[in-house]
Amino acid sequence: MSNLLSLQHIHFQHKGRTILQDVSLTLDAGQIVTLIGPSGAGKTTLVRIALGLLKPSSGSCSRKAKLRIGYVPQKVVVNQLMPLTVERFLATSNCERKMLHDICEQVSIQHLLNQRMNNLSGGEMQRVLLAKALLVKPQLLVLDEPVQGVDVTGQAELYQLIQDISKRLHCAVLMVSHDLHLVMSATDTVVCMNNHVCCHGHPESVSAHPAYLELFGKNIEPSLALYTHHHNHVHDGCNHDVANIDEENKA
């Protein structure tokens, strides 16, 4: 297969409830795709299917043979009583020491190596988890809300770092986010979800699409300017299918 990852017509049901309905997407090397949508839209469920942690009720999920995937989950819980340092946490990947320290420099956490994991701030923890994911030399980097618990300045820095990593390693990135504000500068294609694909395409086209405005328009913060992201290639256009969801489902 030419794509690193191909999800085609994915349906997923849980306890009689439809979580995903006819969702398709593909990723190629070097491409950054961001899934956005409200809580309960099925973003994390789709990521778990992409990772092979869940099987779709119908549809297909294909990955390139021997695809190396680095994964940053939403949250990692560290026992408060465990004296686990950042260096020991990263060293569990059994990589060479030089590689470990090189990656720590790339994500600017070399000064944290002797810190305990349970003493890290939100932004520090996300950078450590990103370093952990990079130790596998990923061809595909999957990030489930990588800026969770990070302030606005830190979010912008993390998104820029993710973009830089994708360019340097020429790896694909599949990210999950709740909105389009700061992520616009670090993504090629946006897929707006609400259990199905509401619209998809270039970030600017999605931000002006009726389906996106229906989901997020009332919550857009005027003080956050949408970044203009220019490319020489053509993105897919948006479709016009909109649906409502049950907000109680947090998948």
**pTM, rounded to two decimals:** 0.83
At residue 224, the pLDDT reads 38
Whether the per-residue pLDDT at 117 is higher than 90: the answer is yes
Among the ranges given (13-17, 137-141, 185-189), the one the predictor scored with the smallest mean pLDDT? 185-189
DSSP string, the chain: --SSEEEEEEEEEETTEEEEEEEEEEE-TT-EEEEE--TTSSHHHHHHHHHTSS--SEEEEEE-TT--EEEE-S-----TT---BHHHHHHTT---HHHHHHHHHHTT-GGGTTSBGGG--HHHHHHHHHHHHHTT--SEEEEESTTTT--HHHHHHHHHHHHHHHHHHT-EEEEEES-STTGGGG-SEEEEESSSEEEEESHHHHHTSHHHHHHHGGG--TTSPPPP---SSPPP----------TT---
Portion of the chain with pLDDT greater than 90, in percent: 58
What confidence tier does 237 reach under pLDDT thresholds 50, 70, 90? Answer: very low
Write the pLDDT tens digit of every residue in 143-193.
999 888 788 888 888 999 999 999 999 999 999 987 777 788 789 999 999
At residue 246, the pLDDT reads 35
Domain definitions of the chain by residue range: 1-68+138-251, 78-137
The CATH number that domain 1-68+138-251 falls under is 3.40.50.300
